[in-house]
Structure 1
Amino acid sequence: MFITLEGGEGSGKSTQLRLLTEALARAGAPHLCTREPGGTPEAESIRALLVEGEANQWDAYTETLLFMAARVDHVRKVILPALREGTLVICDRFMDSTFAYQGAGKGVEEDFLHLLHRFTLEDFRPDLTLILDIDPEEGLRRAQARRGHETRFEAMDMEFHHRVRAAFLTIARHEPQRCAVIDASAAQEAVHREIMEHLRQRGMAA
């Protein structure tokens, strides 16, 4: 099974990923925790180009293609082999971030993104996507307090972050069987309990 965590900046994905993997480890469930962009040495090199630097240093289409190059490498070398072995894979961001950030956020046409995904990954998609939803202003406050500096995406204007949030919620409405929206403004443990409940409902956790 393939689970992805999605959400805007400061939504707590990294924390929830850690809590989830700790719970799975306690249960003795074989699992792999990974992230996008990244997950392989080559994809991590691309990540360094994408995450740091000036907010608008990349054209939206160039940025999209870099993300997709990292994703294809990650899926083929890490995610698919693990899934074939029966390992539960949990990934911090995946395709929905591309539709939200590069699509809604930066104006890359949705049809182009769908075509790019089909051409490179065919119909491969997560079994469950947990969307951690938070008001962008609060999320950015959290993110910047945690890191002390802005990443490229945190430095984008507030309208960008509101478009990203709206896109994630739209994806969830269109794919309710795959996506679950979780209030990320709640306490960490409350968010974790809700995540575990979604996994139990789908037979992914005891």
Structure 2
Amino acid sequence: MFIAFEGIDACGKSTQIQLFAEYIKNRGLTYTLVREPGGTALGEKIRSILINEDMNPRSELLLFLASRAQLVEEVIKPALNRGEIVIADRFADSSVAYQGGARGLGVGIVERLNDFATDNVYPDLVFFIDIPVEIAIQRLEKTQKDRIEKEGADFFQIARETYLKLAKKNRNFVIINGNEDIDKIHRRIVEHFELRIASLNH
């Protein structure tokens, strides 16, 4: 089973991924944790370029896609073939929301390029942790920001709206209210996961 966590920057994704991975481990299930961009030797080099170098939006998208293609072949497909649960900190929908939506490259073209980069390997479940943009901006003020995190409220607003449109369109999407307390968010994620597992076993 392949599960991705999505959301605008500072939505609380990393905390929830940690809690979910612990829960999976306690259930005695084997999992592989990956992050985007990155997760492979090549991907981590690309990550460093993406975070630090200025570039045009098309270059940015193509670098994300290159990192993703490598991750799918090198890590995700083998893990799924071994019967493991793959937990991803961002995946293809990030590019749709950020580059397709917020950067204005177009959702349709990014989706088509994602099909190519992922070899049509997509998550069974996407947990979209949704928070208002104002909260994200407040949280980012307290951190050392990377190149994308320095974008303003308008950028994140479009990314968020694009995610919400994806949630309406895609059956694998689950919207999680990121404003609730950490344990409550975790419980909701676990509930949805358990429901999905139960439906697969029937």
TM-score (normalizing by structure 2): 0.94
Counterpart of 2:190 (choices 190, 193, 196) is 196
Q: Counterpart of 2:48?
A: 48
Shift of 1:16: 0.4
Question: What whole-Å deviation, never above 9, does each CA across 1:139-158 have from its counterpart, x for those lacking one?
Answer: 1222342xx32111121121
Matches of 2:189 and 2:140 in 1, distance apart? 21
Q: Counterpart of 2:36?
A: 36
Map 1:96-111 onto structure 2 (within 5 A). Answer: 96-111=93-108
Q: Counterpart of 1:154?
A: 149
Describe the SS at the equivalent of 1:202: helix
Does 1:169 pair with 2:169?
Answer: no
Question: What whole-Å deviation, never above 9, does each CA across 1:70-112 have from its counterpart, x for those lacking one?
Answer: 0000010000000000000000000000000001100112232
Question: What whole-Å deviation, never above 9, does each CA across 1:24-63 have from its counterpart, x for those lacking one?
Answer: 111111111111001101101101111235xxx2100000
**Contact kept in structure 2, 1:16 and 1:188, CA below 8 Å:** yes
Question: Could you tell me which amino acid in structure 1 is paired with residue 71 of structure 2?
Answer: H
**Contact kept in structure 2, 1:42 and 1:70, CA below 8 Å:** yes
Flag structure 1 segments of 5+ consecutive residues without an equivalent: none
Q: Counterpart of 2:9?
A: 9
Matches of 2:188 and 2:40 in 1, distance apart? 30
Runs of 4 or more consecutive aligned structure 1 residues displaced over 4 Å after TM superposition: none
**What is the number of residues matched between the two proteins?**
199
**Contact kept in structure 1, 2:66 and 2:117, CA below 8 Å:** no
Q: Counterpart of 2:127?
A: 130
Counterpart of 2:68 (choices 66, 71, 92) is 71
Shift of 1:180: 0.3
**Contact kept in structure 1, 2:68 and 2:118, CA below 8 Å:** no
Matches of 2:99 and 2:150 in 1, distance apart? 15
Shift of 1:69: 0.3
**Contact kept in structure 1, 2:4 and 2:88, CA below 8 Å:** yes
Question: Could you tell me which amino acid in structure 2 is paired with residue 105 of structure 1?
Answer: A
Matches of 1:11 and 1:72 in 2, distance apart? 25
**Larger deviation, residues 5-14 vs 109-118:** 109-118
Question: Could you tell me which amino acid in structure 2 is paired with residue 37 of structure 1?
Answer: P
Q: Counterpart of 2:83?
A: 86
Question: Could you tell me which amino acid in structure 1 is paired with residue 164 of structure 2?
Answer: L
Matches of 1:158 and 1:117 in 2, distance apart? 26
Q: Counterpart of 1:182?
A: 176
Question: What whole-Å deviation, never above 9, does each CA across 1:113-170 have from its counterpart, x for those lacking one?
Answer: 122123333322110000000011211222342xx32111121121111000001111
Question: Could you tell me which amino acid in structure 1 is paired with residue 180 of structure 2?
Answer: A
**Contact kept in structure 2, 1:9 and 1:136, CA below 8 Å:** no
Flag structure 2 segments of 5+ consecutive residues without an equivalent: none
